[in-house]
Chain A
Amino acid sequence: MKVRLVLLWIAVGIPLSWGVMKTLENALMLFQ
């Protein structure tokens, strides 16, 4: 059960973190 929990959160966490990182890269232009 715990392995499945970790895998599921990784499955949603990785794409979300990638999207946030890409957006932050763009957003940083505002402060340059």
Chain B
Amino acid sequence: MASTFLDRENTVASPGFNRFLVPPAALAVHLSIGQAYAFSTFNLPLTRLIGHGHSAPADWDLKQVGWIFSIAIVFLGSSAAVFGRWVEKVGPRKSMFTSALCFGGGFIVSAFGIHLHQLWLLYLGYGVLGGCGLGIGYISPVSTLIKWFPDRPGMATGVAIMGFGGGALIAAPLSVMLMAHFKTAVSTGVLETFVTMGVIYFMYMMIGVYAVRVPAPDWKPAGWSAPAHPKQLVTTADVSVDMAWRTPQFWLLWVVLCMNVTAGIGVLGQASPMIQEIFSGRVTPATAAGFVGLLSLFNMGGRIIWATTSDYIGRRNTYMVFFLLGLLLYSTVPTFGHLGSIPLFVAAFCIILSMYGGGFAAIPAYLRDIFGTYQVGAIHGRLLTAWSVAGVLGPVLVNYIRQYQIDNGVPKAQAYSVTMYIMCGLLLIGFLCNSAIRAVDEKYHYRGSIQT
């Protein structure tokens, strides 16, 4: 019975179905899995499980706990790449359900790990199982939304991917509230919080499972017809995932995403210490937390704003703006630091983080433009391996170069300048790759019959 409900053929929308029911279904999934961005709220409490509020010798250290998130991000990228074609085949409902099982189950397995004080169970639970839930959940609504909104693909996927940014805004205060609620003299409250969040997120993702529909094969928006002369780079042909993998366009886009994410993610991870060190004595930890919150808001807002903008100015032009404006801002940020101008510094990073989010949100529509709608979800899944690489590269670049500078006698306030100029170099590479993207050669086009 359950498998029947989850099957793709039972999710085909009946005539008259309102397509605006699909974005909230996608949002329900992305708002849940976006919790991953707020996992750091558990880091300190996880190092105080035995000491009950302070670290005991038998407690895990921060470095060990930090691996939970890293494993989850690696499995996000790899599961999106591996299961992308399966997601296309079984449809959004079954893949969203699988994602909910993995993500909610990951919390429950991790709760067992906390109960038994076995770190490997957290690596397996939140890291591997939860990471697979993140990857499958992230790509599951993408191709469905693109098919429902052929007239506004950027806006549609932007709404869903905005949810991933917004999920952190919900999860951070929710985690703190739950831990405070469950905290006792003999417990940090993390175990109970994990169980509660596992159940809440599973149930919330069921909203998406229930509400999602795929359009009928011949469906198109009322009054809309595919443009006779598509914009430059927008194809009317299709490329299969296995063929897309072999085109230069796929790898150029891979580098474009990787460079854009690397430039943003390193800053996002180090935002709090960075602003405190650059404006030493003027920015308190509480104020720095406000800065991090502001960056998260711009990360989320940039996803919908830039993705919608890309529907009007084109995908390649949107990324041109990201790279050129990013270059300008990263090269002037050290000057804002030297001038001691906190407002200019904050404004520059808010715009940078909006473009970081925008890069994630506009990429599915970019892929649709280049490779068509046939297996765009699976191609998107494979492209997300760039995120996994950037997730390691960005923080390593920022942390390593900062430490190298400090070890060589550079004052802490100036230790980030070189990093900013290196980010400019990465953005220049992204700009060149984006400029090199052309339409896919006809020899790669899919010539079989497409079953929607």
What is A's interface to B at a CB cutoff of 8 Å?
1-2, 4-5, 8-9, 11-12, 15-16, 18-20, 22-24, 26-31
Q: Which residues of B3-46 are within 8 A (CB) of A?
A: 16-18, 20-21, 24-25, 27-28, 31
CA distance A3 to B286 in the complex (A): 42
Q: Given A4-B21, A12-B24, A16-B31, are A30 and B170 also a contact pair (CB < 8 Å)?
A: no
CB proximity of A31 to chain B, nearest CB, Å: 8
Q: Is B397 among interface residues, defined by CB-CB distance under 8 A?
A: no
Query: Are A27 and B290 within 8 A (Cβ)?
Result: yes
Q: Which residues of the partner chain B approach A24 to less than 8 Å between Cβ atoms? A: 293, 297
Q: Which residues of B283-298 are within 8 A (CB) of A?
A: 286-287, 289-294, 296-297
| Residue in B20, B168, B289 whose beta carbon sits within 8 Å of that of A29 in the complex | B289
Q: Given A8-B211, A15-B170, are A23 and B293 also a contact pair (CB < 8 Å)?
A: yes
Interface residues on B, range: 20 to 34
Q: Which residues of the partner chain B approach A9 to less than 8 Å between Cβ atoms? A: 24
Identify whether the interface residues of B are mostly helix, strand, loop, or mixed: helix
Contacts A19-B172, A20-B297, A29-B289 known; list 8 others, CB within 8 Å: A1-B21, A8-B211, A19-B167, A19-B169, A20-B166, A26-B293, A30-B294, A31-B290
Query: Are B166 and A19 within 8 A (Cβ)?
Result: yes
CB proximity of B9 to chain A, nearest CB, Å: 21
Query: Are B170 and A29 within 8 A (Cβ)?
Result: no
Q: Is B324 among interface residues, defined by CB-CB distance under 8 A?
A: no
Query: Are A22 and B294 within 8 A (Cβ)?
Result: no
CB proximity of B160 to chain A, nearest CB, Å: 10
| Residue in A4, A27, A31 whose beta carbon sits within 8 Å of that of B297 in the complex | A27
Q: Which residues of the partner chain B approach A31 to less than 8 Å between Cβ atoms? A: 290
Q: Which residues of the partner chain A approach B290 to less than 8 Å between Cβ atoms? A: 26-31
Q: Given A24-B293, A26-B289, A30-B294, are A12 and B27 also a contact pair (CB < 8 Å)?
A: yes
Interface string of B170-200 (1 = CB under 8 A from A): 1111000000000000000000000000000
CB proximity of B175 to chain A, nearest CB, Å: 11
Q: Which residue of A lies closest to B34 (CB)?
A: A19
Query: Are A16 and B166 within 8 A (Cβ)?
Result: yes
| Residue in B17, B21, B293 whose beta carbon sits within 8 Å of that of A8 in the complex | B21
Query: Are B170 and A16 within 8 A (Cβ)?
Result: yes
Q: Is B346 among interface residues, defined by CB-CB distance under 8 A?
A: yes
Q: Which residues of the partner chain B approach A2 to less than 8 Å between Cβ atoms? A: 18
Q: Is B71 among interface residues, defined by CB-CB distance under 8 A?
A: no
Query: Are B287 and A5 within 8 A (Cβ)?
Result: no
Q: Is B135 among interface residues, defined by CB-CB distance under 8 A?
A: no
Query: Are A30 and B28 within 8 A (Cβ)?
Result: no
Q: Given A22-B169, A30-B287, are A12 and B31 also a contact pair (CB < 8 Å)?
A: yes
Q: Which residues of the partner chain A approach B170 to less than 8 Å between Cβ atoms? A: 15-16, 18-19
